[in-house]
Each structure stands twice: as C-alpha cells, then as structure tokens.
Amino acid sequence: MTYNRLPAAELYPILGIMRASDLLHPRPEGLYCPPGDFFIDPVRPVDRALITHGHSDHARSGHRSVLATRQTLDIMGLRYGENFAGTTQAAQLGETIALNGISVSFHPAGHVLGSAQISVEHQGARIVASGDYKRQRDATCAPFEPIPCDVFITEATFGLPVFRHPPDTEEIARLLKSAAQFPERSHLVGAYALGKAQRVMRLLRDAGYDRPLYIHGALAKLSEYYQSQGIDLGTLEPATVESGGKDDFTGAIVVGPPSAFADRWARRFPDPISCFASGWMRIRQRAKQGGVELPLIISDHADWDELTATIKETGAEEIWVTHGREEALVRWCELEGIAARPLHLVGYEDEGD
C-alpha cells in the first residue's frame, strides 16, 4: 500500500464527541454499528441487518430481522423464499428511522431496482454507506442521490482509471447493428439475473426493438417482478426447446445468466454470437478469454469518473473504500488531499456485474 499512514487522531477525525470508527467499523460479519447494534449487508446471519440491495453477496438469508426497501425485501423473498428472515421492516426512501438512538435513512443508489445507500447519523455526524451504485441513467431503478456526509463509504468495483463506461445506448445500438448484420444467427446476451438483465431488456425496448425477447428460466421470476413494478420489458418468451426448434431462434435475442452460455443449454440456438453485458468487457482480454464475440460495456457500478465525481460531490472529509480496487481510489484521494483508507471488508464479489 502506498497511501500515507496518518496518526490515528488525524485518520479518524473527531465527529462531535465520537470518532467515525466508533459509529461504524468492519467486523467479520460485516460493517457494524455498535451504538445502534446493527450490521449493514452482513455476510453471516446476525440479529439485525440493514440491506442495501438484493444481490446475493449483500443480501443473505437467515438474519433475525431485516430492514431494507420494500423492493429489496420483495426481491429477497423471490430469491430465498418468504421465510428468508425472522421479521422484516420496509424502509421508505428518505424517511428517518431511529435505531437505539441512531438515525438511519435510505436513499436511492441507482444500482438495481430497490437499491439504496444507507445513511447513519449520530450527534450531528453522518456516515453514508453507498452499497453498490452508479450514476448513469437507468430506466429500471431510481437515480442515485448524492447525500452530503462526513464519511462516505464507497464501493470500488471499477476503481481504476481504465474503467470508463460508454453510454449504454451506444452499446445497445451495437447489439442491434449486429443483429441486423447477422440475421441468420442468434445473439445470446449474458447478463446477471437481477438488474443487468432487465436493464438490457429495457434498453432494447427504448431503442425500438419490439420483437419478443427470449429469456433463460433463471430470469423469469425477477423479470416478472420488474414488470409488476411498472418497468415495461415488453413481450418475454421462455427460451425453451418446447417453445420451438432451432429455427425459431434464428435472428432472436436471448438473455440469460452468463454461466448458461457455456453450458449445454446454449446448444438449442443456431450459430449463436455470444455477447456479455458487463463493465468488465471494457478490457479486451477479458472478452477474449471468455470467448465473447460482442462485448457490451454496460455496468451497474460507477466507473472511475463517476466514483471520483461522487466522492467530491458528497463533500465528505474522509473516504472509506470497500470491495474492489481500493488502492487506486485511495491514491486518487491522497492526490486530491482527501483522507481515505481501504476498509477490507470480506465476502463481497461482483455479482452485480
């Protein structure tokens, strides 16, 4: 690590009478608030969990009580069954909830449907945990709202200057161009089941694509839920052999989880072109290694420019960097004169991308 090691007194500025690390700090189970006695996105079962969004590395089953947005709770119910937690409580966006004298509020993160940042406030000091977030417009979820705070806990999935996501509309235009160029083939779009898949479908609709979209079974329940929340994805058909022979998928666009395309499942499609919608597709070698013919750089995480702009926008005096490439973002903060440190939380992957 190359960032400066500041003396403890400077590294943890006094917030009121309390240090920030007394309000929130990492424990093996996840980010813990001792005075409030709750965890944010714990990776192991705990008594009280506050959940930012429904991706499985953030939202796990088996907690005694869960506080999250209505949509995140619904999504957890779809993924884990109705009894995923002892009790649940829905948080309204922007509404303040008191937990053992700590003020907690949820704010849109723009990551996937239901995703929220969690603000934790005590004695005039505020820490905002971003969860995962992005700044590019996304018709399938509420846009990110910057919340002024003292400490901003940012994700860093794409925390390197090489990650710069192009406008998603350009990426979808490339997909449609390819579909027109190769009408005798099918296009298989790998996209994670929660969020990315629905966003890709919605982008196709917004670009005027009105043929049925074929989806892998793993996407069915979540896509139906998105539709029930007023996000129009148009006609979705199951990509099953029963729905037709090989010829019926000629020229089709099929959406499914990336793992399915390397599987025998993919054999039902005629001469498929494999596409993958992910921020990782920015790196050519990644696409090449995965055998991806048409990489679509569509990400639900902030890219480098969004990360750095957001850090500035929150006005935070201190940045804690978590899951991803912490070192580059810490280095950038150092160059900008903003105190920053990696949080070293364990157990988070990049499922959302």
Partner 1 sequence: MNRFAELLDRLVLTPSRNGKLTLLTDYFRAVEDPDRGLALAAITGDLHIAAVKPAMLRMLATERMDPVLFGYSYDYVGDLAETVSLVWPQTPGNIANREPTLGEVVAKLQAASRSDGPKVLAGLLDSAGISARFAIIKLVTGGLRIGMSARLAKQALADFGKVDVAEIEELWHGLTPPYTALFAWLEGKAEKPRNTALALFRPVMLSNPVGDGDLEKLDPADYAAEWKWDGIRVQAVAEGGIRRLYSRTGDDVSGAFPDLADAMHFSATLDGELLVGDPREATGTFSDLQQRLNRKTVTLKMQQQYPAFMRCYDLLQVGGEDLRALPFRERRGRLEAFVGTLDPSRFDLSPFVDFTDWQTLEELRRVPPHPIIEGVMLKRWDSAYVAGRPKGPWFKWKRDPHTVDAVLMYAQRGHGKRSSFYSDYTFGVWTGAEGEEELVPVGKAYFGFTDEELKQIDKYVRDNTIERFGPVRSVRADRDNGLVLEVAFEGLNRSTRHKSGVAMRFPRISRLRWDKPANEADRIETLQALLDR
Positions that interact with partner 1 (CB under 8 A): 2, 160-164, 166, 174, 178, 181-182, 261-267, 271-274, 282-285, 287-295, 325, 327-328, 331-332, 335
Pick between residue 52 and residue 308 the one whose CB is nearest to partner 1. Answer: 308
Nearer to partner 1, 36 or 290 (CB): 290
Q: How far is the CB of 214 from partner 1 (least distance, A)?
A: 16
- What's the CA gap between 183 and 166, in Å, rounded? 26
Closest residue by Cα to residue 300 from 148, 207, 198, 215: 198
Q: Nearest distance from residue 274's CB to partner 1, in Å? A: 5
Q: Minimum distance between the CB of residue 170 and partner 1, rounded to whole angstroms?
A: 10
> How near is the Cβ of 242 to partner 1 at its closest, in Å?
19
Q: Rounded to the nearest whole angstrom, what is the least distance from the CB of residue 350 to partner 1 in the complex? A: 14
Q: Would you say 293 or 351 has its CB closer to partner 1?
A: 293
Q: Which is nearer to partner 1, 97 or 283 (CB)?
A: 283
φ and ψ at residue 75, rounded to 5 degrees = -65, -40
Q: Of 222, 209, 286, which Cα lies nearest the Cα of 254?
A: 209
Nearest to 224 by CA among 193, 262, 251: 193
**CA angle in degrees (0–180, nearest 5) for 132-133-137:** 150
For partner 1, give the closer residue by CB, 17 or 309: 309
Pairing, β 125-129 against β 116-122: antiparallel
Q: Which two tokens stand for residue 6?
A: 């500041």
Q: Which is nearer to partner 1, 55 or 216 (CB)?
A: 216
Q: How far is the CB of 317 from partner 1 (least distance, A)?
A: 22
- Based on CB atoms, which residue is closest to partner 1, 52 or 186? 186
Say how far apart CA 214 and CA 309 lie, in whole Å. Answer: 37
Q: How far is the CB of 264 from partner 1 (least distance, A)?
A: 6
